[in-house]
Chains A and B, each alone.
Chain A
Amino acid sequence: MKQLFKTGEVFIWFTGFGLAVTLLMISGLLVLILLKGSDYYYPSKLASVSTVDGKNYLGQIVREESIPKTNLPDSLKEKGLDRYNLKIANRDLYGLDFKWIEEPEVQSITYHEDAAVIERMEFGNFNGFPNKLMKDGQTILEGDENLESGISPYISEITDYRNELNRLSKSEVGKINYKIEQLRSDIDKIKYENRDDESKAQDKINEINNEIEELNSNYALITHQVDSIKHIASRYSLFVRTAEGDEKEIDLLNIVRVYYPNRMSITQKAGFMISKVYEFLVEDPRESNTEGGVFPAIFGTVMMVILMSFVSVPFGVIAALYLREYAKQGSFVRLVRIAVNNLAGIPSIVFGVFGLGFFIYFVGGTIDQLFYPEILPTPTWGTGGILWASLTLALLTVPVVIVATEEALASIPRGIREASLALGSTKWQTVKKIVLPAAAPGILTGVILAMARGAGEVAPLMITGVVKLAPNLPLDGNFPFFHLDRKFMHLGFHIFDVGFQSPNVEAALPMVYMTTFLLILIVVLLNISAMLLRNRLRKNYKSATF
């Protein structure tokens, strides 16, 4: 033992201990997120719990734990007490999604085959025993087995209706609304331009008002259409028995899917999980972001990152070219280089503050005053939006691009440049034809790293245009298609918002874990591709010796 201390072998082990803890934490984090997130996908069994005082509950047992001894009365301290956390759903009936039941209260726990989870558009899930399906007050399907096998065509029919309704209310109505909005702002503009004497512009205003009238009548047509589809769809309703034995009628239009977790086979479970992942990726969020998908957030993140790259990449590359190829190497350039390097370490919130003060209030405010004076003080550009957020992040990531590009340029052997110049090409030709292509993988690495950083950054976005729920995507079918003044959703902010500002955090948690997993996946994939590129680049230059 003494020997161990004398030679320091113990201390070597302590250093190994440091590494082990670090590695454990990393893997622990990833495993935790994956496990917690997959809860959201996995169709866990529905337990029917009946209690000693004659109450019945139906739900998934989310957690089983023993109550901390300190919180128990003295009489129970010896034995301890376990409790179950049951996800009983049925928010419209019970108010709460979760219920704690103490172990001694439980009389029996059984798993009924015919217990089903009904996912709804509103009020979250419903746990119960489906009884019968009715159309116009007439029973079309009755009994557990008939229902299970026969309900899916009806559900898919209803899903078609719902999709049609969505399409109508989103794209059709959205289009009309957008046009009306545009026309209204035209009226405001005309009124503002003729503010001394409004009568001059009255003809024009009337003309536009007529147009609005026309659109409104179109709108009425669509609402009529919507109403008739709703009418057809609402003829179907599902009757479900709750754990207590009450019967509850649920509009089939409100139902997303019905599944019987207690008798699902492995393949069914796998299929179910795949359909959930698909839903998560392509659907809009429901129920104040706690259910549905995160498509708008994915879209917002991607679009913001692309916009950001459009700005930061060219400028970053030009600045690096200047510093490495054109500027006279001296103490000034060295100073600039240190400053650029350090800028990557400036807290992102500082960039956010700058973006708010400069882009939004100064630039945006000036644009509003010059081009949109008629609707002031309502801001058009003088408020957060995807353009300002992207520009802010572009500033934040420019140093990353500069540093990576400079490294790539520096690693190109001098001989290549000299050979090109010796053959009579100009400097620009050398740069364009020889240097840039050779440095391209390195530059790309920088771009990818910048994108990864941009995708994961939240703090500066919070004050420059991210919102919890954006009514419209910043890119749609209405002219001019790109709406860069719109606010947008972002995966990182989604995590913060749903996890910390949602009214029903516990119900939303699986969703947050999934979003977290998705965000990590994006960032990690981007980083891995950057790393692989960098490694290939290194190999390329190892062989290119002069």
Chain B
Amino acid sequence: MSGKEVEIKKKKTAHLRAVFFDKIAKYSIYAGGIAVIIAITGILAFIVVEAFPLLTGADGKEAAVIKEKKYGLPVLTGIDEYQEIAYMITDSASVDFIRLESKTLIKKVVFPELKNRKVLTAVSDISKKNIALGLDSGKVALLNIDYDVSFDKKNNRIITPQVSLITSFILDSSLQSITSMEYQVDEDGNPTLAALTKSERLLLYSKYKETSLFGDGEITEYKYDLSNIIKSKITSLAIDSECKKFMAGDDKGFVYYFDISGKDNPRMEKRLDVLNNSKNGITALKFILGDQSLIVGSSDGKISSWMKITDDSSSTGWKWVEAHTFESHSAAITAIAPSTRNKSFITGSSDGEIKLHYLTSEKMLLSVTEYKLPVKYIEFSPKSDGAIILYKDGLVSNYKIDSPHPEVTLFSLFGKVWYEDYKQPEYVWQSTGGTDEFEPKFSLIPLIIGTLKGTFYAMLFAVPLALLGALYLSTFSHPDLRNKIKPIVELLAALPSVVIGFLAGLWLAPLLERILPGVLLMLIVLPVTVILGVSAWRYFPGLRFGLKSGYEVLFMIPLVILGIMISIELSPWFESIIFGGDFRTWLLDSFNTNYDQRNSIVVGFAMGFAVIPIIFTICEDALSSVPQHLSSASLALGASKWQTSIRVVLPTASPGIFSAIMIGLGRAVGETMIVLMATGNTPILSFSPFNGFRTLSANIAVEIPEAPYHGTLYRVLFVSAVLLFLLTFIVNTVAEIVRQRLRKKYMHI
């Protein structure tokens, strides 16, 4: 090979290598670029996906069914917390424990005291451990069922069911069979029992243990026959878990409310017409967790909830109201089961339809019809992740339910919701509370209003200042001054918001509290100073200190300082003249609002300060890029400088100014640290400038560290993140489009 050939070959390989690398670079840049774009757009997709499960209902599927009646006809069933072992109380007064998976009987208990008795009805209390059996010949038996859970060496769970007979006694002295019952045990262990007998007598029984300082107290039994108070045919009964309210529903659509908090003195307080004279009867009643709401089921399948609320206009001080209605069944409601974990409940009807509802959101989570048999009894599993349903003819079905976010609907996020203990439907955000019975309240409205309120005050402060400043700098000031000032303001846009928030919260807020009247006074004093300044400039040129036209702002600064000092100096005087000596008392007297130290005005100042540089810079750019020949033409025609700027420059640049304001708005909406530090962060719905608020963004920062992964709060916070994302994205896009239009327009002028 000659040298030339070698060279050619070398060149060829070099060429090939170059082409090869060119290809690699091309593909990797394509891949990288597209990946970054996908990643960026993926953010929204991810947030939406995380938030979405909020709006879905519950999942349910039948896990086991027992059709064989070899163990006797069940009257009542229940289940342990792991949903492994169900008990059945049969009509022959035996308690059968059945392993659901294998459908084997693992334990059968027959009490000698109850031999040859027939169980006509049975009911369990809300803890699901205490059970009352209604027997023939007017007898009642009280049982206790419990499950022992232990673990063997290999960490396998062993569940041992226990059942014991507490007592049995004759309730109806006329020895008639008990046909229907309601039973609750309060937290001190005092039982209360209501029963209907075959001849439609309504009996109320309670046992009360007097707790005295000296050990065991005396046990008193109370027994009442309430049939003489109520004349109509009672069909259903309910007692709350504290044993203070007793409700009885009749076949005409009325519910009778008894106050049984005084054990020796049950009083009928009120007859409620819960079905509006529809001639339908009440077929099921139940209190749900928290004892505030009574669920009423009627013979035509309607379901509603009733609440006792305080009412100042009535003589008793309270009234019952219908707070919620739920999706109806097509046949009579025969069973209602409240959850022990939250405010959800299951209803069953005589055509075999089962529905899962949630109280405050009125959300229907699940609706199934597995068997076309009348539902006799439903019970939630202790963890509320399943239910056991007893149909007519003794068919028992175990349902596994997964209902992760029952309390949230689009309506509950954005609408007024009637929570328990509230007099009317309201917008409330309250994510955590002290007790187990606390219901989290997720209304985004107070937060959205808070966001808008903060943005409004910030813009109120920032837009005039930024706009005026930009107008001055672009049209009236000397170019040298302009080149110096603009970078300073630009630099300020990069100021960390935590700095501004810190100063607002710890320095400005206490200061403003002291000199607020002075700040109000500035609204008058400062314009006066400006007019004085311009007069001095104009008529006493000697006072100009050698400043040329276009440098007025430097003349202005000491004047503004002077104005501010005068205002603050006069603050106490102003306060005593206008506000009678104390601004805060005056505010409370005249407008009935309190003055919070960290309030909307403080945030307005601080957040305004944070957005001024942005609005200022973009405005200035828009104003100074208005073609020079336009203003020159105007000036040549004899218009003054001011006329030119207001009639020619400002209208031409108005789309740019609009987009500047929009971008500033976008920043204010999403600002987190300033509002976190400069407001009290109370999620209240108030429009007063002297109160604090909580914004969507600050709410996320405050609450998300405490929100369990994939819990309801976590997802609701993702919803607010989606809102923030969309809001700012739309605002920014509009601004960007307007700006691009403007750019095109300038090209044509």
Q: Does B129 contact A (CB under 8 A)?
A: no
A432 to B29, CA, bound (A): 12
Please, which residues of chain A bring their CB within 8 A of the CB of B34? 322
- Whether A29 and B476, one on each chain, are in contact in the complex, defined by CB atoms closer than 8 angstroms, is no
A459 to B732, CA, bound (A): 21
Query: Can you name the residue of chain A whose Cβ is closest to the Cβ of B717?
Result: A353
Please, which residues of chain A bring their CB within 8 A of the CB of B709? 361, 365
How many B residues are at the interface, by size bracket?
35 or more
- Whether A7 and B642, one on each chain, are in contact in the complex, defined by CB atoms closer than 8 angstroms, is yes
Q: Does A94 contact B (CB under 8 A)?
A: no
Q: Does B62 contact A (CB under 8 A)?
A: no
A351 to B700, CA, bound (A): 11
- Whether A342 and B733, one on each chain, are in contact in the complex, defined by CB atoms closer than 8 angstroms, is yes
Known: A15-B469, A23-B557. A527 touches B47 (CB 8 A): no
Tell me the chain B residues, 496-532 only, with Cβ under 8 Å from chain A: 496-503, 505-507, 514, 526-527, 530-531
Binary flags per residue of B175-193, CB closer than 8 Å to A gives 1, else 0: 0000000000000000000
Q: Does B495 contact A (CB under 8 A)?
A: yes
A322 to B34, CA, bound (A): 8
Complex partner residue of A319 from B33, B469, B669, B673, CB under 8 angstroms: B33
A457 to B43, CA, bound (A): 19
- Whether B677 and A326, one on each chain, are in contact in the complex, defined by CB atoms closer than 8 angstroms, is no
For the complex formed, measure the closest distance between the CB of B471 and the CB atoms of chain A, giving whole angstroms.
5
A90 to B531, CA, bound (A): 54
Q: Does B704 contact A (CB under 8 A)?
A: yes
Q: Does B415 contact A (CB under 8 A)?
A: no
A356 to B705, CA, bound (A): 9
Stretch at the interface among B197-205, B301-309, B338-346, B486-494: B486-494
Tell me the chain A residues, 467-518 only, with Cβ under 8 Å from chain B: 492-493, 495-496, 499-500, 505, 509, 512, 516
Tell me the chain B residues, 692-707 only, with Cβ under 8 Å from chain A: 697, 700-701, 704-705
Complex partner residue of A349 from B498, B576, B700, B737, CB under 8 angstroms: B700
Please, which residues of chain B bring their CB within 8 A of the CB of A361? 709
- Whether A326 and B505, one on each chain, are in contact in the complex, defined by CB atoms closer than 8 angstroms, is no
Known: A426-B18, A431-B25, A459-B672. A1 touches B705 (CB 8 A): no
For the complex formed, measure the closest distance between the CB of B99 and the CB atoms of chain A, giving whole angstroms.
26
Complex partner residue of A15 from B41, B471, B670, B677, CB under 8 angstroms: B471
- Whether B469 and A70, one on each chain, are in contact in the complex, defined by CB atoms closer than 8 angstroms, is no
- Whether A499 and B496, one on each chain, are in contact in the complex, defined by CB atoms closer than 8 angstroms, is no
A17 to B526, CA, bound (A): 9
A10 to B561, CA, bound (A): 19
For the complex formed, measure the closest distance between the CB of B100 and the CB atoms of chain A, giving whole angstroms.
28
Known: A21-B560, A428-B25. A456 touches B494 (CB 8 A): yes
Please, which residues of chain A bring their CB within 8 A of the CB of B33? 318-319, 321-323, 326-327
Please, which residues of chain B bring their CB within 8 A of the CB of A431? 25
Please, which residues of chain A bring their CB within 8 A of the CB of B53? none
Please, which residues of chain B bring their CB within 8 A of the CB of A509? 506
Please, which residues of chain B bring their CB within 8 A of the CB of A23? 485, 488, 553, 557
| Central interface residue in A11, A340, A352, A516, by most chain B CB within 10 Å | A11
Known: A7-B640, A336-B37, A346-B670. A519 touches B499 (CB 8 A): yes
A316 to B36, CA, bound (A): 8
Complex partner residue of A33 from B43, B503, B533, B737, CB under 8 angstroms: B503
- Whether A459 and B507, one on each chain, are in contact in the complex, defined by CB atoms closer than 8 angstroms, is no
Stretch at the interface among B142-150, B282-290, B390-398, B723-731: B723-731
For the complex formed, measure the closest distance between the CB of A59 and the CB atoms of chain B, giving whole angstroms.
21
- Whether B40 and A339, one on each chain, are in contact in the complex, defined by CB atoms closer than 8 angstroms, is yes
- Whether A395 and B43, one on each chain, are in contact in the complex, defined by CB atoms closer than 8 angstroms, is yes
Known: A516-B499, A524-B491. A10 touches B22 (CB 8 A): no
- Whether A13 and B534, one on each chain, are in contact in the complex, defined by CB atoms closer than 8 angstroms, is yes
Q: Does A14 contact B (CB under 8 A)?
A: yes
Please, which residues of chain B bring their CB within 8 A of the CB of A24? 557, 560-561
A36 to B511, CA, bound (A): 15
- Whether A456 and B530, one on each chain, are in contact in the complex, defined by CB atoms closer than 8 angstroms, is no
- Whether B473 and A459, one on each chain, are in contact in the complex, defined by CB atoms closer than 8 angstroms, is no
For the complex formed, measure the closest distance between the CB of A438 and the CB atoms of chain B, giving whole angstroms.
17
For the complex formed, measure the closest distance between the CB of A357 and the CB atoms of chain B, giving whole angstroms.
5
Q: Does B666 contact A (CB under 8 A)?
A: yes
Q: Does B251 contact A (CB under 8 A)?
A: no
Known: A13-B533, A321-B29, A495-B502. A345 touches B663 (CB 8 A): yes
Please, which residues of chain A bring their CB within 8 A of the CB of B425? none
Q: Does B609 contact A (CB under 8 A)?
A: yes
- Whether A463 and B701, one on each chain, are in contact in the complex, defined by CB atoms closer than 8 angstroms, is yes
A399 to B494, CA, bound (A): 15
Please, which residues of chain B bring their CB within 8 A of the CB of A10? 530-531, 534
Tell me the chain B residues, 648-684 only, with Cβ under 8 Å from chain A: 663, 666-667, 669-673, 676-677
- Whether B552 and A12, one on each chain, are in contact in the complex, defined by CB atoms closer than 8 angstroms, is yes
Q: Does A347 contact B (CB under 8 A)?
A: yes
- Whether B552 and A13, one on each chain, are in contact in the complex, defined by CB atoms closer than 8 angstroms, is yes
Query: Can you name the residue of chain A whose Cβ is closest to the Cβ of B534?
Result: A13
Known: A8-B642, A349-B721, A398-B40. A19 touches B472 (CB 8 A): yes
- Whether A29 and B530, one on each chain, are in contact in the complex, defined by CB atoms closer than 8 angstroms, is no
Query: Can you name the residue of chain B whose Cβ is closest to the Cβ of A431?
Result: B25
A25 to B557, CA, bound (A): 11
- Whether A4 and B672, one on each chain, are in contact in the complex, defined by CB atoms closer than 8 angstroms, is no
Known: A15-B476, A349-B700. A527 touches B732 (CB 8 A): no
A226 to B537, CA, bound (A): 74
- Whether A12 and B673, one on each chain, are in contact in the complex, defined by CB atoms closer than 8 angstroms, is no
Q: Does A18 contact B (CB under 8 A)?
A: yes
Tell me the chain A residues, 33-83 only, with Cβ under 8 Å from chain B: 33, 36, 68-70
Q: Does A202 contact B (CB under 8 A)?
A: no
- Whether B556 and A17, one on each chain, are in contact in the complex, defined by CB atoms closer than 8 angstroms, is yes
Complex partner residue of B646 from A1, A8, A457, CB under 8 angstroms: A8
Complex partner residue of A70 from B506, B533, B582, B663, CB under 8 angstroms: B582
Known: A22-B616, A316-B36. A531 touches B487 (CB 8 A): yes
Query: Can you name the residue of chain A whose Cβ is closest to the Cβ of B672?
Result: A459
Query: Can you name the residue of chain B whose Cβ is closest to the Cβ of A496?
Result: B498
Complex partner residue of A4 from B24, B503, B534, B609, CB under 8 angstroms: B534
- Whether B701 and A462, one on each chain, are in contact in the complex, defined by CB atoms closer than 8 angstroms, is yes
Query: Can you name the residue of chain A whose Cβ is closest to the Cβ of B24?
Result: A428
Query: Can you name the residue of chain A whose Cβ is closest to the Cβ of B700?
Result: A349
- Whether B40 and A395, one on each chain, are in contact in the complex, defined by CB atoms closer than 8 angstroms, is yes
Tell me the chain A residues, 109-134 only, with Cβ under 8 Å from chain B: none
Known: A353-B47, A431-B25, A496-B677. A452 touches B506 (CB 8 A): no
- Whether A531 and B491, one on each chain, are in contact in the complex, defined by CB atoms closer than 8 angstroms, is yes
- Whether B29 and A29, one on each chain, are in contact in the complex, defined by CB atoms closer than 8 angstroms, is no
Complex partner residue of A495 from B499, B669, B700, CB under 8 angstroms: B499
A22 to B128, CA, bound (A): 68
- Whether B494 and A524, one on each chain, are in contact in the complex, defined by CB atoms closer than 8 angstroms, is yes
For the complex formed, measure the closest distance between the CB of B632 and the CB atoms of chain A, giving whole angstroms.
18
Please, which residues of chain A bring their CB within 8 A of the CB of B686? none
Please, which residues of chain B bring their CB within 8 A of the CB of A492? 496, 498, 673
In the A-B complex, the 9 residue pairs with the smallest Cβ-Cβ separation, listed nearest first, are A347-B670, A322-B33, A8-B642, A18-B468, A456-B496, A426-B22, A15-B472, A318-B32, A19-B469
Cross-chain pairs A/B with CB under 8 angstroms, 20 sampled: A13-B533, A19-B468, A19-B472, A33-B499, A326-B33, A336-B37, A338-B737, A346-B728, A349-B672, A352-B704, A353-B700, A398-B36, A426-B21, A452-B494, A459-B673, A499-B506, A500-B502, A512-B502, A516-B503, A531-B491
Binding site for A on B (CB under 8 A): 18-19, 21-22, 24-26, 28-30, 32-37, 39-41, 43, 46-47, 50, 464-469, 471-473, 476-477, 485, 487-492, 494-503, 505-507, 514, 526-527, 530-531, 533-535, 537-538, 552-553, 556-557, 559-561, 572, 575-576, 581-582, 609, 612, 616, 640-643, 646, 663, 666-667, 669-673, 676-677, 697, 700-701, 704-705, 709, 717-718, 721, 724-725, 728-729, 731-733, 736-737
Given A9-B640, A342-B736, 20 extra CB contacts under 8 A:
A8-B641, A12-B641, A14-B468, A16-B477, A22-B466, A23-B553, A318-B29, A318-B32, A318-B36, A327-B33, A347-B672, A347-B728, A349-B697, A351-B43, A449-B494, A462-B705, A463-B700, A496-B498, A523-B494, A531-B491
